[in-house]
Structures are given as structure tokens and as C-alpha cells.
Structure 1
Amino acid sequence: MKTLLIIGYVWPEPRSSAAGYHMLSFIELFLTHNWKITFASPAALSEHRADLVSLGVDEVAIELNSSCFDKWVGQLQPDIVLFDRFMMEEQFGWRVEQCCPNALRILDTEDLHSLREARHQWVKQQLRADNLDISQLSSPQELYQRMAKQDQCKREIAAVYRSDLTLMVSEFEINLLKQHFGIPNNLLTHCPFMLPTAQENTPLFSERQHFISIGNFRHAPNWDAVLWLKQQLWPLIKQHLPDAELHIYGAYPPPKATALHNEKEGFLVKGWVEDAHLVMRQAKVLLAPLRFGAGIKGKLVDAMRNGTPSVTTTIGTEGMIESEASWSGEQTNTPEKFAQAAINLYSNDEQWQVAQTRGYQILTDHFCQAKIQTNLLSCVEALLEAEQLTQHRLANFTGQMLLHHQHKSTKYMAQWIEAKNQLAPANEEPTEPTS
């Protein structure tokens, strides 16, 4: 029986985020192929975490900057180690390489953190200048110029090179890494959400009401979208649709979010919902005004699965369509056009049905579960062959060089922190890295 170790940045929450759903799909895939799976994480247990034990997965709490991990992983000797986001590869990759040199090391980016951060900073700058044009945020050359200046970007790209294989949800991001950062093609594989067929027998246009917006409030792009809705977009929509309501859902709403709730305005902040698919099917239109972000947007994929058209931005549709005309609803980047698109889609049954059909086609073309699973397993099985993995690593000299230098930096920093923690007084909090 082959073994898979997943080192999670957080415990997966499939009902709170797309990243949580995506991680659970990996787990379910390898379980169906009779792999023994261990999920380990240094994160605190979360309120909405999946019950992995009930699935037959071993759960292990691990510590940052602790040699206890070395002994444990050396005994486990997994065939594959999957790092959930580049921060976990930084912390534990060198330990895995030393203790389990034959293990296949896979990085799951979820999305490019440095891409999202570059866009976030760009939006902040333009908002201060009162000159926001998010259409510029899709220029690969401009993005490279901004990303390459970041320390975070250098760390993330280094993690990609050090890994044997990196999983990417967005073809846009794959092309960005290949064409502008020089990442070899054989180090990357396209692995978007692995979805079953769309929901059947979803409610008709006439059976639905109101708008919906959804997203984990801890995710900066989602909070920015709620603010944009409150300050500009929803007032424009409400002028033309006075009886409509906007129902806003998402895990971990902070007080500043719940304070925006206003019954008179029809701006209803509802927070956590047990079944996101249920409220999605009841709504007529999803609003996702994303001004920055990266990866594939789970809320938009879920909307299509439930037959709910959406209005979003070019950032929202990135990596999912070839042309604006094929989107499941409307994409636009300006407040006035966004509001008008929402009003039109909400009011026109025929336009709504066309958008719904487009959504089903996007799911078929880009998120076919069987096709994605077959491709992923094929990549993994090829690299599991010892000779193939040896040659693969020899061809990636840059990765081996970065791994060598990581041993000399991250390794000794971790050992210094561990020694410092051991000497700290009992009432002093242990030191953890800022990453």
C-alpha cells in the first residue's frame, strides 16, 4: 500500500473555502485508489474543519521548528509528500528531503499568493489615487514586473523549483510562470477543481429571488468585494430594483462586516451557512465584484454547478473562459456597467437561461472530474518510478541548487529557533516564523 503525507497550512474546511474543497478532493481521489493517507498540520484545530478521521485519514499535529518532525517523518517514510501552499514547503521541505529522500515532493499552490498580493497592492495604490482600472491587472508583463520585486514572490518561485511537481489550478498562472519566470513545463501540471456533473433539477428563474454574494471573510479579496458592493454597486442596483435583497454569506464574519447589515437597504450580512449549495440554488444572481485575487474562484464555480448566473470582473473569470461572450452571465470592471449587468440578468428570463447554459458548458470543458483525475494520477505514477524521478531531478539543476542553499539557511534558522524555544521560560510564548 502506497502512503501519502499531506502537510497542511490549515485543516481543510470544504464548506468554508474553495481551497478546502480542493484539498478534500485530493484526499478522496487517493483514498479511492487505496492509498494510506496522513494529514499533518501545525495549525490550530478550526471550527468548520472536515472530519478526516471518519474518512480513514490519520490526523497528526506537528510543530514548526522542531526536530521531532524529522524522527516522525523518517519512521513514516511516505511515498509522496504534498505540501499545502509554499509556506509549508519552506518549513518542512528540507526536512522531508533529508529524512525521506526518495519521497516524491509535490507542491499544491492553491493559487499564486504573490500574484494575489501584487494585485492587492496595485488596487490599494490606485484607490489612493482615485484612478482604479482593474483591467490592467491581467497584463502578464506588467504582473511580472510587479511580482518580481516582492520577497514573497522569490520565496514562492523557489518553492516551485525545489518541488518535483507543482499543481496549478489556473492555466493563466501556468503561462505566467512558464513565459515570464522561466519555470520548465515538466515541473508544472494543470489541476483545477475536480468536479462531478452539475446539479440537476435546479430551480427555474421564476422560482428564485434576490441576489447572493458569498466568500470566506478572512480572504482579503472577498472582504474588498463586500466593501465595493456596500459603497458603490448595491446602491446603483437598488435604485432600479427596490424590492431586491442581497444576501451575503461567508465563514468568519468580523464585527466590521456584520456592522454593514442593513434591512432597510436590503443589504443582509448572514455569515456562515451550513449548505452553500442550497442558498446558491435559491438565489437568482450571484454578485462577485473581485478587484484582485488569483487562481480559480470557488464561488463562481459553485454558482455554475447550481445553475446560478453571475456578474463578476475579469479577475473573477480568469482561467475559466476564452472569451467574454462565453461567460455564465456578465463580466465587467466598472461600477455602472456592473450594476446594469446585474439588473439586466436579474430581470430577463431569456438572458438568464442563456447564461445558465453557458455555465454548464464551462464546467464540462474545464472541470471534468474524470479527465483531471486521470491526468494527475498519470503524472504522479510516472514520477514515482525511481529512475524517472532521478532523471527528473537531475534535469532540474536550479531546484537542486535552491534546495542546497535552503539547507544552509532555513535549516539553521529553524534549529536556532528550536534551541531558543527550549531555553525560553515556561511562561514565554515560543517563537514562530512570520511566514
Structure 2
Amino acid sequence: MKHLIIIGAVWPEPNSTAAGSRMLQIISLFQNQGYEITFLCSASKSDFSFDLNTISVQTKPIQLNDSSFDSIIKELNPNVVLFDRFMIEEQYGWRVMENCPNALRVLDTEDLHFLRKAREVTFKQNRELVFEDYISDVFKREMASIYRCDLTLIISEYEMQLATETFQINASLLHYLPFLSEEITTNVPKFDERKHFISIGNFLHEPNWQTVLELKKYWKAIKKQLPEAELHVYGAYVTEKAKQLHNEKEGFLIKGRAESVAEAYSKAKVLLAPIPYGAGLKGKLFEAMQLGLPSITTEMGAEGMNGNLDWNGFITSDENDFITKSVKLYSDKTLWETAQKNGYKIIEKRFKKELFASDFMNKVETLQMNLKSHRNQNFLGQILQHQSLQSTKYMSKWIEAKNS
């Protein structure tokens, strides 16, 4: 039986983050091909960490900058190692290369961190993004990680285009793997059975917090036109500053963690997501389409999701237009029902699991069979691998010696 090792930045929390849900999707793809899977992580588990043992995934805690990892990875002897984000590859990639040189190394970016960072900088400086904004330390680190790996998973078509066209990364090193949908939930409450607006997102993720601040700005104007409506803001890890925005009189309600996203979505009439910046695909919008909840978002929020298909609601980055469209979508039954159908169509045409599963696993199998020639063609990756083995390795060993 083939063996996949996943080295996680954190233990997956599918009810807290889209990244947690995506990780379970990737696990499912490998399990369907008969892989045994072990998940390694140095982070502490939380009360909301998914119990991977319930889906037959073995788990092992590991330590940062500790040679005990070498013994663990050698003993497990994987065919494939997947790094959860580039920071994990930086930490453990050289150890995997030294101890399991024939294992296929796969990087899951989740989203391109350098893109999100560049957009955050320009958002906070209130200006347009220019090319130089990309070229940060995060960019250099993430790019080096991509080249050191045999395959990198890209979640968004926009990011795939950015990587191959703007930065000329050879397409053989990349694979487009978005969120995957196994089913669409059409048996949901109708327009007349729903009320209130909803927003959702982990409060520890800065773009989500900025989205809540945008909503606070817009809400009074929406509430003025829809006096009976409330905005229910859900999200894991509510901060104190977020709690201070809670206002019963205004109908702006900070609800905290949603025990069931599906249940919360089924009661709400419209999802509001004025996302000012970010990267990758937005899990909240993906789930809304799956569950039949129309939404209003920005160009940034919808990026990479609908292709040339109509959105399941509206896309606008203008404040006044966002407010107008929110009221319109909330009030117009015909418009709402059309938006819901548009969402189902986007999922059906662009995110069904069957569209991606076999292509991805075929790519993994082909690379394993041709690993030597694949690596020889990626000579820049070999150079970076050599350099990182020298620098990262000895820095890690120095930290380990210092800690002991």
C-alpha cells in the first residue's frame, strides 16, 4: 500500500476554516486511491480539531527543529509527502529530502501568500497594486519553496495564470486543484422561509476582520431600508475588538462560531461578503453556492470562482452599489431564485469533484514513475534544494543544539 505523509501547519479544523475543509478533501482523494495516510503536526490540538482517526488517518505529533523528525520520517518511508503551506516546506523539506529522497514532494499553497501580502499592503496604504509589491520576502520564500517541490497545488485559476504568465513558472511544476464539491444541497428553505443577512469567517484571518469592518460601515444604510432585517456575523475565534461591534439595537449581531454552517446558511436570506483583499478561493462563498444561499461580494471575493458564468447574486466593489444590491437581492424573490440557480450552476460546471479527482491522482502517479527526469528538468529547483540544505539545515541544527 502506498503511503502519504501530510505535514500540517495546524491540525485541520473544517468547521473553523476553509483550509481545514480543503485538507479533508485532499485526504479523501488519496484514500480513494488506496493510500495509507499519516498526518504530522507540531501545533497543539484545539477543542475544534477534527479527529482524523475517525477517517482512518494516523496522527503523530512532531517537534520543530528536532532531529527526532528524521527517525519518524525514515520509519514511515512515504511515497508522497505533502507540505501544508510553504512555511512547513521550509522547516521540514530538507529533512524529507535527506531521509526520503525518492518521495514525491507536494506543496499545497492554500492560496499564494505573497499575493495576499501584496494586496494587504496596498489596501492599508489605500493605493493600487504595482508589480514591485509582489517582490517581498514572502514572495522569495514562497517561490523558492515552489521550485524545491516536485508539484505545487494552486487553488485559483487567477493564481495559476499569475504563476505561469507573470512569473513564468513551468506548468509541469503546478497543478490547479480548487475546492471540490461532492454534492449540491437543493432541498433547502425557500425565499419566504428565510430572513436576515449573514456573514461568516474566522476572526483570526485578517481579511475576514477587514470584511466585518466594511460591513459595519454599510449596515446602517441597509438597515434603514430594511428595518426588520438583522446581520448575523459568524466566525470562529471571536476577538474582543469584534465583540465591541455587537449592537442589538442596530441589528448588527456578532454570533461567534457557527455550530453548523449549513444550518446557519439555511435560515439566512443573503450572504454579505464585501471582501477588500485576499487571495485564493473564498470558502464562505463556495459553501453558500453549494447550500443555495445567494451572496453579494466584491471582485476580490469572487476572483477565480465563476469564470464566465453569472454570479449567484451580485459582484460590486462600490459601497453605494453594494448597499443598493443588498436591499434588492433581499427583497426580490424572482431575482433571489435566479441567483440561487446561478450558484448551483457554478458548482456543477466548475467545482464538481469528478472534474478534478482523476486528473490530479494521475498526475501524482505519473510524477512518481518519472521522478528522476522530472527533477532533472527542474534544475532551478535542484539549485535551491542544494542551497536550502546548506542554510536551513545548519540553522535548524544550531537551534536544536541551542535548545538542548
Partner of 2:392: 410
Gaps of 5+ in 2: none
Equivalent of 1:288, from 243, 252, 273? 273
Partner AA of 2:2 in structure 1: K
Between 367-376 and 298-307, report the one with greater CA deviation: 367-376
What is the percent sequence identity of the aligned residues?
50
Equivalent of 2:401, from 419, 429, 433? 419
Report matched runs for 1:257-296 at 5 Å.
257-296=242-281
Partner of 1:41: 41
TM-score by length of 1: 0.91
1:397: how far off?
A: 0.5
1:364: how far off?
A: 1.0
- Supply the distance in 2 between the matched residues of 1:382 and 1:189 (Cα, whole angstroms): 13
Partner of 1:98: 98
Partner AA of 1:361 in structure 2: K
Total equivalences in the alignment: 404
Equivalent of 1:211, from 174, 186, 197? 197
Partner of 1:172: 158
Partner of 1:201: 187
Report matched runs for 1:179-190 at 5 Å.
179-190=165-176
Instruction: Please provide the CA RMSD for this pair.
Output: 1.1
Report matched runs for 1:14-413 at 5 Å.
14-126=14-126, 136=128, 142=130, 144-148=131-135, 150-230=136-216, 232-323=217-308, 326-385=310-369, 388-413=370-395
Partner of 1:129: none
Instruction: Give per-residue Cα distances to partners, 1:272-293, cap 9 Å, x unaligned.
Output: 1111011111110000110000
Gaps of 5+ in 1: 127-131, 423-435
Instruction: Give per-residue Cα distances to partners, 1:255-286, cap 9 Å, x unaligned.
Output: 11112111100001000111101111111000
Partner of 1:433: none
Instruction: Give per-residue Cα distances to partners, 1:113-172, cap 9 Å, x unaligned.
Output: 11111101111001xxxxx6xxx56xxxx3x43111x10110001100010000111010
- Supply the distance in 2 between the matched residues of 1:197 and 1:215 (Cα, whole angstroms): 22
1:88: how far off?
A: 0.4
Query: What is the DSSP-based 3-state SS (H/G/I as helix, E as strand, rest coil) of the residue aligned with 1:370?
Result: helix
Query: What is the DSSP-based 3-state SS (H/G/I as helix, E as strand, rest coil) of the residue aligned with 1:326?
Result: coil
1:107: how far off?
A: 0.2
8 A contact 2:29–2:361 mirrored in 1: no
Partner AA of 2:214 in structure 1: W
TM-score by length of 2: 0.98
Partner AA of 2:251 in structure 1: G
1:305: how far off?
A: 0.8
- Supply the distance in 2 between the matched residues of 1:371 and 1:210 (Cα, whole angstroms): 35
1:374: how far off?
A: 1.0
- Supply the distance in 2 between the matched residues of 1:61 and 1:280 (Cα, whole angstroms): 35
Instruction: Give per-residue Cα distances to partners, 1:214-243, cap 9 Å, x unaligned.
Output: 00111111000001111x111111111111
Partner of 1:428: none
Partner AA of 2:243 in structure 1: T
- Supply the distance in 2 between the matched residues of 1:85 and 1:11 (Cα, whole angstroms): 13
- Supply the distance in 1 between the matched residues of 2:94 and 2:349 (Cα, whole angstroms): 38
| Displacement over 6 Å in runs of 4+ | none
Between 52-61 and 3-12, report the one with greater CA deviation: 52-61
- Supply the distance in 2 between the matched residues of 1:250 and 1:394 (Cα, whole angstroms): 46
Partner AA of 1:392 in structure 2: H
Instruction: Give per-residue Cα distances to partners, 1:79-119, cap 9 Å, x unaligned.
Output: 00000000000000010001000000000000011111110
- Supply the distance in 1 between the matched residues of 2:318 and 2:218 (Cα, whole angstroms): 9
